[in-house]
């Protein structure tokens, strides 16, 4: 998470959406950088609303706008799947080694999600709160130029990013039947992604 106080802006770090590259590029420009632990670096809207927003509201008397990035849901799951293939997770309950992408997505759609497929939901991460705290600037991961242009204008600077934390490349073709299950079970993620730019 990056906070730009003068610009009244927070860039949330949705996992697997490339925000680590922006954090690396902008950490010296930000007023407040949360890079660890992961539970705070990747604070969803509800956690920001509960812990961070009151700090700025009560101490500084300001409300900050939230910006975030969302990845196409199948691509997002593919990134998680590939990340959890890495050797450092071998033997861990989070490892996807020996599990097909179809089986990973099937497991993700279960009511009782096994550890290796328990990666949350972008829609839940970005869910507006009852008090009105919500993301006001949402960008597609696949349209990095829009995010960069927004940040360059808002921060009045040029931004150059390098890819960070990249998972190994793999051909991930999802069976159409599994995709249909995913679209039905996780409809909120697809609906939110499709609404970006509306």
What tens digit of pLDDT does each residue of 166-192 get? 666 777 999 999 999 999 999 999 999
**Mean per-residue pLDDT, 97-107:** 96
Among 19-28, 53-62, 80-89, 159-168, whose mean pLDDT is lowest? 159-168
State whether residue 68 is helix, strand or coil. strand
pLDDT confidence of residue 41? 92
Residue with tokens 């997002």: 76
pLDDT confidence of residue 36? 87
Architecture of domain 2-195: 3-Layer(aba) Sandwich (3.40)
If pLDDT is split at 50, 70 and 90, which confidence band does 160 have? confident
Count the residues in the chain.
198
pLDDT confidence of residue 168? 64
What tens digit of pLDDT does each residue of 120-138 get? 999 999 999 999 999 999 9
Q: Parse the chain into domains and list their residue ranges.
A: 2-195
- Taking every pair of Cα atoms in the chain, the longest distance, rounded to a whole number of angstroms, is 52
**Smallest Cα–Cα separation from 192: which of 109, 123, 138?**
123
CA distances (Å), origin 2, targets 32, 60, 68, 91, 167: 6, 17, 11, 34, 23
pTM above 0.85, yes or no: yes
Q: Kindly report the average pLDDT of the chain as a whole number.
A: 93
């Amino acid at each position: 998470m990056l906070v730009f106080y003068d610009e009244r802006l927070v860039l949330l770090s949705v996992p697997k959406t490339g925000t680590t590259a922006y954090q690396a590029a902008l950490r010296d420009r930000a007023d407040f950088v949360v890079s660890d632990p992961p539970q705070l670096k990747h604070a969803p809207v509800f956690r920001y609303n509960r812990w961070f927003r009151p700090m700025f509201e009560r101490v500084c008397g300001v409300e900050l706008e939230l910006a975030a990035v969302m990845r196409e849901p199948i691509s997002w799951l593919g990134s998680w799947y590939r990340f959890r293939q890495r050797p450092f997770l071998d033997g861990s309950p989070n490892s996807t080694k020996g599990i097909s992408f179809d089986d990973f997505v099937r497991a993700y759609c279960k009511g009782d999600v096994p550890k290796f497929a328990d990666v949350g939901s972008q829609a839940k991460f970005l869910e507006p709160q009852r008090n009105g705290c919500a993301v006001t600037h949402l960008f597609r991961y696949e349209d990095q130029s829009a995010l960069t242009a927004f940040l360059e204008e808002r921060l009045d600077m040029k931004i150059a990013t390098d890819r960070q934390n990249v998972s190994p490349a793999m051909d991930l073709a999802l069976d159409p039947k599994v995709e249909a299950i995913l679209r039905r079970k996780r409809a909120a993620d697809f609906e939110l992604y499709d609404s970006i730019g509306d």
